A and B are shown apart, each in its own frame.
Chain A
């Protein structure tokens, strides 16, 4: 498998197939793991990082779950390819900003990615489509079990899995879902929901995780606490809260359709119209309009466009994807044109 093979396939998490996939785009698990007796990535020298690399590479690739995996050294990648992996949520910004002995292993269906020498020696990630925390946990848990038989993890009875940052100490688990909550935003209830979430040990972020603003009404909601609670309890808590958020979103949608029908229809059809007719569009505008169209599809107003296509568009309209599709570097203005072309083509072919 080669990196460019990813360009023409749809990552598992974008397939819009799991439970509640009209509201929950994807469910993700991340485990932070370190090797015993080696300094953490930010504190280690080149030789130590290479040692980590040499130890973990075979352990990862031997796993049945990583059969035919793509294994990439970050220093071998072009800037566009690094950005491309970031846009597909397969690497973090931290991983692609350094180079020494950093790598990522990606399973062929893009469910699993294992980052090497990120903030921690290993950052294992599993991502499934829809509201499906259970499957994401089962996958990541079994890969972690397998790896822990081959590698000596840094672990203590008191503090659990020892991580570089104390915010990950304990289980090292960050469980999250990406939810599309346009009706809560339109009815101005989102602040209340996010505030309540932050009170109970969860946190909400934008589409691209840590440090990003929510755009197009997409929110990534995750646990913050990693010490003092077993994994399954953390996942169960998150799941329960997400179920409530889904209920709130659904009742807000109902409210909008019964009380502000014209306003809602206007917004949705204008967005659809713009996407199908624009010749220049920024990614910010496109993501916002795609959010409205998605709501229109969920409410049964727009037919012939499916959630999977809309999910794919969210990713392929990003800068590195556009440039890889065009097979050349494009500046911001050229990208806005290419983006509009791509969206028009994908949406009008469905009419």
Chain B
């Protein structure tokens, strides 16, 4: 069987595609299949999916945050929507307003629980304190004590800022 696209080489790849709700079978040679594969990837990628998720449930907040720009790397919120990827770590802070609904949709949560990087001894004590607060926070969230959780989180933020200085 010859390739459906170039009609020159032997078809070795067999694809089933949905076109207008019709099942179409495609028999392609290796080269054409690779090209076709690349086209399909462009057709449908993660960035499109994420862009669809980004502002789904908070249109007003989205409008507010739409003009945001990261002061560190220059990425705008619109860039983020298009690419589905942040430009740098500081983008998280810059686009914070729009982030919660997105993260909730992806992960069902907006709060990290887990490892904290161990950077040198000077941060060691701070790390232990943070770990302790984190354990308390985890407990508070499990028990649905959200006021307590908010307080603990503020404490952790203050500590974190101290650590950065």
Contact = CB atoms under 8 A, between A and B. Distances in A.
Interface in B49-91: 50, 72-73, 75, 83-89
Contacts of B103: 159, 166, 169, 227
Contacts of B86: 40, 43, 162-166
B114 A171 contact: yes
B4 interface: no
Contacts of A173: 114
A40 B85 contact: yes
B106 A157 contact: no
A167 B92 CA distance: 13
A170 B50 contact: no
A52 to B, nearest CB: 12
Interface string A22-64: 0000000000001011111011000000000000000000000
B12 to A, nearest CB: 6
Contacts of B113: 228-230
Interface size grouping (class) on chain B: 35 or more
Nearest to B87: A43
Chief secondary structure at chain A's binding surface? loop
Interface in A118-168: 119, 141, 144-145, 148-149, 152-167
Contacts of B30: 332
Given A159-B92, A169-B103, A229-B113, A164 B85 contact: yes
Nearest to A165: B85
B50 to A, nearest CB: 7
Nearest to B137: A157
A152 B119 contact: yes
Contacts of B2: none
Given A119-B85, A154-B89, A156-B92, A226 B107 contact: yes
A148 B121 CA distance: 12
A153 to B, nearest CB: 4
Nearest to A225: B107
Nearest to A36: B89
Interface in B83-138: 83-89, 92-93, 99, 102-103, 106-120, 130, 138
Interface in A187-212: 201, 211
Contact of A157 (B87, B99, B130): B130
A255 interface: no
A227 B12 contact: no
A157 B156 CA distance: 7
A227 B109 contact: yes
16 contacts: A40-B87, A43-B85, A43-B86, A149-B119, A152-B119, A155-B116, A157-B112, A157-B160, A162-B86, A169-B103, A170-B109, A170-B112, A211-B41, A227-B111, A228-B111, A332-B30
